Structure 1
Amino acid sequence: MKKFYLLLTVFLGLGIISQAQNDANAKKILDGVSAKLKTLKGVTANFSYTTRDKKNVKKGSVNGLISFKGQQYYIKQGSTEIFCNGTKTWNYNGESEVTVSDVDNDNKTLTPQKLLSNFYDKDFTYKLVSSAGAFSEIQMIPVDSKKNFKQVNVFVDKSKNMITKAHILDKSDNTIDFSLSNINTNASLPDNKFVFDAAKHPGVEVITN
């Protein structure tokens, strides 16, 4: 799931990035994405990502589901589930245990609840690569060289005004291609969807960090 946290930053947090000297056209597009996200009451989508090594050999693919509302989110990847109600996070391994921890806004782990805040302000430089066709492609370079990735290219769907694809290059020159599909931007999501219900999982060990 740590990889997914990184990937999700691409889709949800990039409209509120650096105010430094960047491509004005790219900034206008990303500001539009950010403004659109702030109007959405609830979103559900399928996600998928494929990892390839530096020789372009496919190393694996993952599919899953994501739901989010404000600072709350739910992720399902196989039998694994993550619940977050904005203050606590439950990581359920799908079998015998769930780990509960407080949301740590100072931690450098890339988590979804940080994506809709100013946590990533000044994290990237960016430029518009292309606006041909149905997508606007924006190249983003992290300012902090300690990040575990060195470049992210995001693709903004012009009709949806949302980032729906990304190509990520990590420090080892491995690549990750990430995409969202079946996006519902008008989902009705009750708050209890973002809380692990122990009563529905009898016998599961609860581990508190």
Structure 2
Amino acid sequence: MNFKIFEMKILIKNKALCVFGILLLSFVACKKDFLDVNPRNSFTDETVWQDPVLAEKFVSDIYNVFEASNSGFTEQMQASATDEALWNHTDAFLLLNTGAINGANEGWGGTSRWWERMYTYIRFSNIAIERLGDDTKNSISDKGSKDRLLAQALFIRAYCYHQLLRYYGGVPLITSSYAYSVDPGVYEKKRGTYEECINQIIKDCDEAYKRLGDAKLEKGRINSLTILALKSRTLIYAASDLHDRDKLTSKVTDLNDLSAKMPLLAYTTGSQQDRYRLAQVAAKAVLDAVSKKVNGLKSLKANFALHLSGANGKVKDTKKGSFVMKGQKYHVTLAGQEIICDNKTVWTYMKDNNEVQVNTYNPNEQTISPAKLFTNFYDKEYAYKYIGTRSVGGKNCDIVELTPTNKSKQFSKIELAVDKANSTLVGGNVWEKNGNKYQYEVSGFTPNAPAADNLFTFDPKKYPGVEVVDMR
């Protein structure tokens, strides 16, 4: 009897479980979209621009346009494309090394020259610019954050068009994203002229610079100096003989359809000299960014190395030292020598002779001292030219070339290297007319270093027995 009761209890319990299971299945069956879950690895366009974090990630992804192969840091390295190294892993490099490149086979080239790739990232940039530039299409309330994202998208679009223009001449200017259409005519776009492309690049650079301002972004992103450098490079290309109709026509005589292609290759109106002036202003802006930073400091301290080379290129002498600046005052310390200036008087102390020479400070003095590199000495009597980027002391630098317009100066050319990351001067080269070359390397830049006023005057009491030679 007890066994039957126990058996009935189990049967009732099992029936209850079955009923519960049927009810559960019925409930799930009624929910027709139970498999329609939101993916965790992708987001809708609307979701991205409502969330500041996702919007930043979208813009960050556009930086993939600067992949390693664009910069030459692939396994082959750029040296393989010159006579510095030999790499025959691919036929493309073999074509380069043997000089067998022709119009039908161009050999190796980085992906930054690929038409399709550049337009892919132009599209991404256009999407970001459209969404961030229209308050009805995003929910980012922080205007500063929005401006910084816009500046990055504008810069990358300018960079892509700058690359396309270098390789292909005038290209279609697409500044808005396309929605999908079955009509191929929607996607047809006439190529812009060379001048129109230059104008678009400069417009994007100017807008990016205005929106970014002095904001400091995390390492690996652009800064204001990056934007100025791209603008300067674009304008110096625009001022070249290669892109002036009259100069190009006189130099290229073997193309029958050159006249028809001229608008895609060069300016057909305007003054080349005016374009050079614009390029000079843009190059000077890179240097002005350094002066602006220095002028905003109470003082600065840095170490330097000075290498003197003769006309044969061999290093004759190397000097190392340090300097402290405070406004226009400076104190330079070298082995066995000190140069002190209070903006009125210059004292040059020679330790071996225990002698100090006293001169009146002349801001127009021709000598380029380490301290003078950090002033805006270049404001007058110089022509400016941005000549590209170079690694100096392990830092990625913009290089600006200065040529004296006053032919009486003892040097023929100056190069200044400006660190892209923080707008500081890290070195320079000075070529004298006699063939000598001075190379400066600046390191250990310390802003707002302690600098008492008495550091910038010479006190004879600190140098017992010193002979004072007053040359004023």
Shorter-chain TM-score category? 0.7 to 0.9
Aligned to 1:26: 283
Hey, what's the Cα distance between the residues in 1 that align with 2:310 and 2:278?
30
Hey, what's the Cα distance between the residues in 2 that align with 1:127 and 1:79?
37
Question: Is it true that 1:129 corresponds to 2:406 in the alignment?
Answer: no
Question: In 1, are the aligned partners of 2:374 and 2:425 still within 8 Å (CA)?
Answer: no
Deviations 1:152-181 (A, max 9, x none): 111101122022111222213332211111
Question: In 1, are the aligned partners of 2:300 and 2:445 still within 8 Å (CA)?
Answer: yes
Q: What amino acid is the match of 2:342?
A: N
Deviations 1:108-162 (A, max 9, x none): 4447697787765331111111146721011111101121111111110112202
1:41 is paired with a residue whose SS is coil
Question: Is it true that 1:38 corresponds to 2:295 in the alignment?
Answer: yes
Hey, what's the Cα distance between the residues in 2 that align with 1:136 and 1:119?
18
1:203 is paired with a residue whose SS is coil
The 1:145–1:73 alpha-carbon spacing in structure 2 relative to 1, beyond 3 Å, is: same
Larger radius of gyration: 2
Hey, what's the Cα distance between the residues in 2 that align with 1:40 and 1:54?
38
Hey, what's the Cα distance between the residues in 1 that align with 2:341 and 2:439?
25
Identity %: 31
The 1:27–1:109 alpha-carbon spacing in structure 2 relative to 1, beyond 3 Å, is: closer
Question: Is it true that 1:54 corresponds to 2:316 in the alignment?
Answer: no
Deviation at 1:27, TM superposition (A): 2.2
| Superposition pairs of residues 174-185 of structure 1, within 5 angstroms | 174-185=436-447
Question: In 1, are the aligned partners of 2:358 and 2:468 still within 8 Å (CA)?
Answer: yes
Hey, what's the Cα distance between the residues in 1 that align with 2:305 and 2:390?
24
Deviation at 1:72, TM superposition (A): 1.0
Aligned to 1:15: none
The 1:104–1:156 alpha-carbon spacing in structure 2 relative to 1, beyond 3 Å, is: closer
Deviations 1:47-69 (A, max 9, x none): 11112222221211111111110
Q: What amino acid is the match of 2:323?
A: I
2:458 is paired with a residue whose SS is coil
The 1:117–1:65 alpha-carbon spacing in structure 2 relative to 1, beyond 3 Å, is: closer
Task: Considering Cα pairs closer than 8 Å and 6+ residues apart, tell me whether 1 or 2 has the greater RCO.
Answer: 1
Question: In 2, are the aligned partners of 1:22 and 1:126 still within 8 Å (CA)?
Answer: no
Of Structure 1 and Structure 2, the greater helix share is in 2
Question: In 2, are the aligned partners of 1:22 and 1:125 still within 8 Å (CA)?
Answer: no
The 1:111–1:129 alpha-carbon spacing in structure 2 relative to 1, beyond 3 Å, is: closer
1:40 is paired with a residue whose SS is coil
Question: In 2, are the aligned partners of 1:85 and 1:194 still within 8 Å (CA)?
Answer: yes
The 1:196–1:36 alpha-carbon spacing in structure 2 relative to 1, beyond 3 Å, is: same
1:196 is paired with a residue whose SS is coil
Question: In 2, are the aligned partners of 1:67 and 1:74 still within 8 Å (CA)?
Answer: yes
Deviation at 1:26, TM superposition (A): 1.2
Aligned to 1:203: 465
Q: What amino acid is the match of 1:181?
A: S
Aligned to 2:354: 96
Aligned to 1:158: 420
Question: In 1, are the aligned partners of 2:290 and 2:374 still within 8 Å (CA)?
Answer: no
The 1:147–1:22 alpha-carbon spacing in structure 2 relative to 1, beyond 3 Å, is: farther
The 1:111–1:30 alpha-carbon spacing in structure 2 relative to 1, beyond 3 Å, is: closer
Of Structure 1 and Structure 2, the greater strand share is in 1
Task: Provide structure 2 residue ranges, at least 5 long, that are not aligned to the other structure.
Answer: 1-275
Aligned to 1:13: none
Match of 1:138 among 400, 417, 439: 400
Task: Provide structure 1 residue ranges, at least 5 long, that are not aligned to the other structure.
Answer: 1-19
Deviation at 1:22, TM superposition (A): 5.1
The 1:139–1:117 alpha-carbon spacing in structure 2 relative to 1, beyond 3 Å, is: closer
Farther off after superposition, 47-56 or 132-141: 132-141
Farther off after superposition, 65-74 or 86-95: 86-95
Question: How many pairs does the alignment contain?
Answer: 189
The 1:137–1:114 alpha-carbon spacing in structure 2 relative to 1, beyond 3 Å, is: closer
Question: Is it true that 1:171 corresponds to 2:433 in the alignment?
Answer: yes
Aligned to 2:455: 193
